[in-house]
Amino acid sequence: MRIAATTTAFPPYYFSQQEVVEALKTYWGNGPDNGAVLDRLHSRTGVEWRYFSRPLEEYHGLDTWGKANNVWIETAEQLGQQSIECLLKQTGLARDRIAALFFVSVTGVCSPSIDARLVNRMKLSPQIKRNPIFGLGCVAGAAGLARAADYVRAYPDQVAVLLSVELCTLTWQRGDMSAANLISSGLFGDGAAAVLVAGDKVPLPGPRIIDSHRVFYPETHYVMGWDISEKGFSIVLSPDVPKVVRENLGRDVDGFLATHGLTRSDIGTWIMHTGGPKVLDASAEALGVERDALEISWEALRRVGNLSSASVLVVLDEVMKHQRPKPGTRSVLAAMGPGFCCEMLLLEW
């Protein structure tokens, strides 16, 4: 099993954090006094720029869940097609070679799902195996990659595509002045990422997926997720997220690596979900590594914000395209998310 190609895709609207803060002061009217709360919270997110599905002034008009979700459908189709076409161009494969399509998102819904719409839009194979996955949130990038690897392990002469589209800004809640909603409005952005995974009998180069591992933490469902109502998605974001990361990540990575006779010292590159500053600091502490070991994740956070499930794939794309390790180097790709749970993969370059 190999990661043969990766890509990212973003909407055309790109704004600095200060531009977003000023727009949100208008969006929320007289909510946070003089905008001081927004200024303070947004300055601590580690985000400098983010992509948006629409110009900032158009968010005023997205005053119902239906309107926002329609934008999600339209944008998800566009970014999805762009992502898959890029993968095919990189590998030289025809569209009908995609045997399975895994689609992950937690920021919008539709039925038929986006993967079905892309089969029609792109004239993909009518025999394609569709796997839409909703609800995994930030962990879905790693989980989806693991599921795609499981597929090509069973069908080594085939290829599978993982597509993540997360349009987090379309979930803003106008009437929610909670700290969680205000923080999320400064942390999350919009974007897509995709990965093409090839079975062992497909002659495409790329890092090997050696194995994957997952851990579910019972009774931690309150840590992260959505409260869903007629208004749409309202963020659930507990201050306990860094604590859960700090208490579990290192132990679970150690257990996973031990099954392959490895320790953390054998890992040359850490490909981690961007989370936020507190999550990245907690991840470094849990893994016993210096901050610099996660610099690719920090840079992704600065450049595009937290993209939920797409974030770890954005980091993977940067490693694949610009910071590829030496042959033989081992990497751990990992993310944590609603459940609360962790998914990780062991790669070899």
Catalytic sites, residue numbers: 138
Rounded to whole angstroms, how far apart are CA atoms 220 and 202? 40
For strand 98-105 and strand 129-134, is the pairing parallel, antiparallel, or unpaired?
parallel
Query: Tokens for 190?
Result: 């919009």
Burial 290-301 (b: 16+ CB within 10 A, else e): eeebbebbbebb
Query: Tokens for 160?
Result: 């599978």
- Residue 334 backbone dihedrals phi, psi, to 5 degrees: -150, 150
Query: Tokens for 264?
Result: 């953390």
Alpha helices in the chain (DSSP H): 17-27, 36-43, 65-91, 114-122, 140-154, 179-187, 241-258, 277-287, 295-304, 311-322
Q: What is the DSSP letter of 31?
A: S
- Integer CA distances (angstroms), 99 to 94, 145, 161, 165, in order: 11, 15, 8, 20
Rounded to whole angstroms, how far apart are CA atoms 67 and 53? 13
Rounded to whole angstroms, how far apart are CA atoms 104 and 137? 8
- Integer CA distances (angstroms), 3 to 24, 119, 130, 279, 301, in order: 39, 22, 19, 26, 23
Q: Is the peptide bond before 32 cis (omega within 30 degrees of 0)?
A: no
Question: Which residues have a Cβ under 8 Å from the Cβ of 122 and sit 6 or more positions away?
Answer: 81, 84, 85, 95
